[in-house]
A and B are shown apart, each in its own frame.
Chain A
């Protein structure tokens, strides 16, 4: 694995992730969903597993925002539970949450801090 500083891990190329959408990367045994929120000029990363029914699908979910503060979120394609991309908190079911990771872009490459 190519690392930047210590715990930043190269995930994929910027071009690998569709604009305003997500893709799944494999880092070791982990599946990470990486989101390229072009509209906001921001990147996010979360676990790929939807905690609702344990489905490996979050990277295929639609992203968007909600509320006055435009909280970025992703909607699981299965039952449309939505999760904050900032905190990982599920916005539709208080009891659920997902892990989020830091993302850095350098030289057309996407790095994730694990």
Chain B
């Protein structure tokens, strides 16, 4: 099949972006580009940096080889001169005639040059292309006085360029009574003007030029008011004119004041011809900024590739630095009372003017203007765009909070995930934050590479930086993560408070440090703290335990429970195996070997649990804490006792460790492993702590994880003896228990830790915080207070009584629980 041909007229910023977006979406087109300029599309927005040492190559948006690689035929220095819509062909200056299926006009605009006598003289320039800048640069070497006609955004930028080129005496001539009349209000203009004057710029307002005097070259500006300004050169910046001449010639509809008329699909009056960027006139408006141009490119690509995106009016908010002065306007900058309320801050001493317009009910921000200090621009713009509800004192937004706690950064992190941060590249907040969290991006350059955010107009760069910092902070351990709506403390803070105040039950903790009635988040978190601190029998406070902890068993599908006795190190005698079999048979339980080298009995009715455990305990079993956020198992390989490779007795060590830490409650479950040699049959490196025998002793690894986010444990200490290893483990585990967030495994805890593994080693091995003695002591206290929870229950009739389904019919089991046979056993039916 022959691919349809798309011809792109104009290789400026938007034309290029169109190609980029199109090839990323579809390879089903034959793309041909005609550009009038002699070089590939470059970053016109940062054109002035050409004077600050950037080369044309630096500004270029891509390379020739990119076009080649994408199979795009690029004709540079060859403008299209005629479009024949009947034959669907275009004709170029160099004589090429090609047929198109679709035509995309991205011809941009040119500087508007007013018809003033003398305008053709030497020394009169416009400011639009690299060639223009080269001419200006060459001419400026012999100039002492320069003027810019036009006090708008581009004019002031051109004036800055003249100053940079060494023209000390630079003038700005503005026809209107103030600067930047389209972007800022008169008070803002006045502030900007005085600020610019201070910086050495001469500003002439209310001046209309009648002619440019001089012999062949521009030598003086003659104004209507008879005054004269001698000059050596003049840059015209009196606005832009859309390049619609070819379109007009072809009979496409154009606006009375220029611009190719398009609909919301970016189609011109000929549906096979699209127009995008600064040449397009949408809804009576030319969008003279790059971001809306990119959006238009996106719409056109979507329409051509079967999508249905449409263009809506575009936000024209801008922030720039003009000759070192911040200038920003955003949202509805000009709305006035009574349609809104305005808050204005003016500081003529520092040259700062800020104005925000808020809804009459004070709830939402409509827009505003910032001169002299536009740091708040991004967050204010986001506040407008995302309709964030304003704080009670909206003036804080421009004054900064005085004495309050809120920081600006907090505002940024509050933005919704889909808040558009980089409008040029359509990157939202979620994309930026997740690049930080998941891809480890920590600086703006990495972010640009990864998401392209900040690569367009660059206006969002500060916001992106704040988001990177904010996300990193949010992921770090020093940021306050409050437990839930009932406790304004992080787990670590609450841990210390409970300890210092010697609080022993949930209600006391809630009374002292919380509010409300608690919830399913803080109850188990506090339960875990209480048990890590006091190691009391948890069922005595059963109603704050997660359901598994409440009934000391794992709730399963259908509402039955599973029973997992401890089998330390995975070593079990034949006699005990027989007991497990008998019990399973008697109570109709399904049996399966778990990943942690023990045996799980499934399908127990709540009512049967105490009886089942009674038999198990009689046979010498203990609770396996499979239901708890506690030590689960220490898996071991058979080691030197049987294995011909084994260096040391891994089973004995595993049993020793499991017995030491059994029953200890932690922020999340804990798993360990011990292997008898480097072959690692116990998979110890996938555990929270792993021990591997070496020729000289043992290696300790920490913070590994299996599960949904596998991560290998990191080498923590090498060739240490058993005593040292247990000492390090004591400290490590206790430090984790005390400082981790609720439900965070050791791997996550380490990943979020400032300073990472090096810091952890410092704390645990070098005692950098001076807490090791205390950690050891606390761990020893937990070890000393070990009890088998099930033993406590079966020996206490009151506790036992709680294991019923119906309180009013204790012997009756839940009739909705049903089983069906499977491979000679049963499974839950529901």
Query: What residues of chain A have their CB less than 8 Å away from a CB belonging to chain B?
Result: 11-12, 16-26, 31, 34, 37, 39-40, 54-57, 60-67, 70, 72-73, 75, 77-78, 80, 82
Identify which of B519, B524, B550, B807 contacts A66 (C-beta below 8 A).
B519
**Given A64-B520, A65-B516, A77-B555, residue A18 in contact with residue B808 (CB < 8 A):** no
**B417 at interface by CB-CB < 8 Å:** no
Contact (Cβ within 8 A) B547 A61: yes
Chain B interface residue count, Cβ-Cβ cutoff 8 angstroms: 35
Given contact pairs A31-B806, A57-B547, A64-B519, enumerate 19 new A-B contacts (beta carbons under 8 Å): A16-B807, A18-B542, A21-B542, A21-B543, A24-B807, A25-B807, A31-B816, A37-B517, A39-B507, A39-B518, A56-B814, A57-B559, A62-B524, A62-B546, A64-B520, A64-B522, A65-B518, A77-B548, A78-B555
Q: If the complex has contacts A23-B807, A54-B830, A56-B814, are A64 and B518 also in contact, measured as CB distance less than 8 A?
A: yes
B520 lies within 8 A of A80 (CB): yes
Chain A nearest Cβ from B347, distance in angstroms: 39
Known: A26-B806, A61-B547, A66-B485. A56 touches B516 (CB 8 A): no
Interface of B is mostly: loop
Q: A17-B807, A54-B830, A77-B546 are in contact. Are A70 and B517 (CB under 8 A)?
A: yes
CB pair A12–B517 under 8 Å, yes or no, is no
Give Cα distance in the complex from A60 to B557, angstroms.
14
Tell me, in angstroms, the Cα distance from A50 to B550 when the chains sit together.
18
Are A40 and B547 interface neighbours, CB within 8 A?
A: no
Q: Which B residues between 504 and 521 are near A, CB-CB below 8 angstroms?
A: 507, 510, 516-520
**Across-interface contacts of A21 in B (CB, < 8 A):** 542-543
Query: Which of A16, A64, A73 is packed against the most chain B CB atoms within 10 Å?
Result: A64
Cα distance, A70 to B523, chains bound together (Å): 16
Q: How far is the CB of B252 from chain A (nearest CB, A)?
A: 51
CA distance A19 to B802 in the complex (A): 12
Produce 1/0 per residue, B521-554, CB < 8 A to A: 0111000000000000000001110111011000
In the complex, are the beta carbons of A19 and B543 less than 8 A apart? yes
**From residue B505, how far is it (CB to closest CB) to chain A in Å?**
11
Cross-chain contact B808 with A26 (CB below 8 angstroms): yes
Q: Which residues of B contact A22 (CB under 8 A)?
A: 543
**CB within 8 Å of A: which of B782-830?**
802, 805-809, 812, 814, 816-817, 830
Which of B486, B520, B808 meets A62, CB within 8 Å? B520
User: Are the CB atoms of B547 and A60 closer together than 8 Å?
Assistant: yes
Contact B543 A20 (CB under 8 A): yes
Contacts of A24 in B (CB 8 A): 805-807
B411 within 8 A of partner (CB):
no
Q: With A39-B507, A56-B816 as known contacts, state yes or no: A65 contacts B808, CB within 8 Å.
A: no
B623-634 vs A, CB cutoff 8 Å, 1 = contact: the mask equals 000000000000
* Interfacial chain A residues near B544, Cβ < 8 Å: 20, 62
Does B570 lie at the interface of the complex (its beta carbon under 8 Å from any beta carbon of A)?
A: no
Which of A17, A20, A80 has the most chain B CB atoms inside 10 A of its CB? Answer: A20
Expressed in whole angstroms, the Cα–Cα distance for A67 and B557 within the complex equals 31
Please tell me if the beta carbons of A77 and B547 are within 8 angstroms of each other in the complex. yes
18 A–B contacts from the bound complex (CB under 8 Å) = A18-B802, A20-B507, A24-B806, A37-B517, A39-B507, A39-B510, A57-B559, A60-B551, A63-B543, A64-B516, A64-B519, A64-B522, A65-B519, A66-B485, A72-B517, A73-B519, A77-B548, A82-B519
Instruction: Give complex CA distance A114, B60 in Å.
Output: 77
- Rounded to whole angstroms, the CA-CA distance of A114 and B559 in the bound complex is 25
Q: Cα distance A57–B517 when bound, in Å? A: 21
Contacts of A77 in B (CB 8 A): 546-548, 555
B547 to A: closest C-beta gap in Å: 3
Closest residue on chain A to residue B520 by CB atoms: A75
Query: Who on chain A is nearest to B810 by CB?
Result: A16
Q: How far is the CA of A111 from the CA of B812 in the complex (A)?
A: 20
- Provide the residues of chain B in CB contact with A61, threshold 8 Å: 520, 547
Instruction: Determine if B394 is an interface residue (Cβ-Cβ < 8 Å).
Output: no
Answer whether residue B558 sits at the interface, using C-beta atoms and an 8 A cutoff.
Answer: yes
10 A-B pairs closest in CB distance: A21-B543, A77-B547, A64-B519, A75-B520, A65-B517, A16-B807, A23-B807, A62-B520, A26-B806, A12-B808
Task: With A17-B807, A57-B559 as known contacts, state yes or no: A39 contacts B517, CB within 8 Å.
Answer: yes
What residues of chain B lie closer than 8 Å to A72, measured between beta carbons?
517
Instruction: Give the docked Cα–Cα distance between A14 and B663 (Å).
Output: 33
Closest CB-CB distance, B524 to chain A, in whole Å?
Answer: 8
> Is A57 touching B520 in the complex (CB atoms < 8 A)?
no
Chain A nearest CB from B302 CB (Å) reads 33
Q: Indicate whether A62 sits within 8 Å of B807 (C-beta atoms), given known contacts A20-B543, A54-B830, A56-B816.
A: no
| B87-125 at interface with A (beta carbon < 8 Å) | none
CA distance A13 to B812 in the complex (A): 17
Given A26-B809, A66-B485, are A55 and B559 neighbors across the interface (CB < 8 Å)?
yes
CB <8 Å contact, A64 and B517 = yes
Chain B residue nearest in CB terms to A34: B807
B766: min CB distance to chain A, Å: 41
* Residues in A neighbouring B559, C-beta threshold 8 A: 55-57
**Among B517, B524, B551, B809: residue with most chain A CB under 10 A:** B517
User: Across the two chains, which residue of chain A brings its CB closest to B547?
Assistant: A77
Q: Which chain B residues border A25 with CB–CB below 8 Å? A: 806-808
Provide the bound-state CA to CA distance between A72 and B523, in Å.
14
**Chain B contacts for A66, CB-based, 8 A:** 485, 516, 519
Residues on B with C-beta less than 8 A from A57 are 547, 555, 559
Do B543 and A12 touch across chains, with their CB atoms under 8 A apart? no
Contacts of B808 in A (CB 8 A): 11-12, 16, 25-26
With A and B bound together, what is the CA distance between A9 and B524 in angstroms? 33
CA distance A34 to B485 in the complex (A): 25
Give the CA-CA distance A73 to B15 in the complex, in Å: 57
Q: Which residues of B contact A54 (CB under 8 A)?
A: 830
On chain A, the residues within 8 Å of B817 by CB distance are 56
Measured CA separation A18–B539 after assembly (Å) = 11
- Report B452-495 residues with CB < 8 Å from chain A CB: 485-486
| Contacts A19-B543, A56-B559 given; does A75 touch B519 at CB 8 Å | yes
A64: which B residues are within 8 A, CB to CB? 486, 516-520, 522-523
Chain A residue numbers with a CB within 8 Å of B523 are 62, 64
User: A42's closest neighbor in chain B, by CB?
Assistant: B517
Query: In the complex, what distance in Å separates the CA atom of A63 from the CA atom of B521?
Result: 10
* Measured CA separation A80–B546 after assembly (Å): 10
**How many angstroms between the C-alpha atoms of A77 and B555 in the bound complex?**
8
Cα of A70 to Cα of B516 in the assembled complex, Å: 6
| Contact partners of B814 in chain A: CB under 8 A | 31, 56
Bound CA span A11–B807, Å: 9
Within 8 A of A (CB), among B391-431: none
**In the complex, what residues of A have CB within 8 A of residue B542's CB?**
18, 21
Complex CA gap A31/B805 in Å reads: 10
Set of chain B residues within 8 Å of A26, measured between Cβ atoms:
806, 808-809, 812
Min CB gap A70→B, angstroms: 5
Alpha-carbon distance A70/B550, docked complex (angstroms): 24
> Which B residues between 620 and 678 are near A, CB-CB below 8 angstroms?
none
Is the CB–CB distance between B517 and A40 below 8 Å? yes
Q: Give CA–CA (A62, B517) in the complex, Å.
A: 11
B553: min CB distance to chain A, Å:
11
Q: How far is the CA of A55 from the CA of B546 in the complex (A)?
A: 16
Inside 8 A of A39's CB, which chain B residues have their CB?
507, 510, 517-518
> From residue 537 to 587 of chain B, which have CB atoms closer than 8 A to chain A?
542-544, 546-548, 550-551, 555, 557-559
Rounded to whole angstroms, the CA-CA distance of A65 and B817 in the bound complex is 30
Given contacts A20-B543, A60-B547, contact A12 B807 (CB under 8 A): yes
Residues of A within 8 A of B806 (CB): 24-26, 31
The CA of A75 and the CA of B550, in the complex, are separated in Å by 14
How long is the Cα–Cα vector from A60 to B606 in the complex, in angstroms?
A: 11
- Give the CA-CA distance A59 to B122 in the complex, in Å: 90
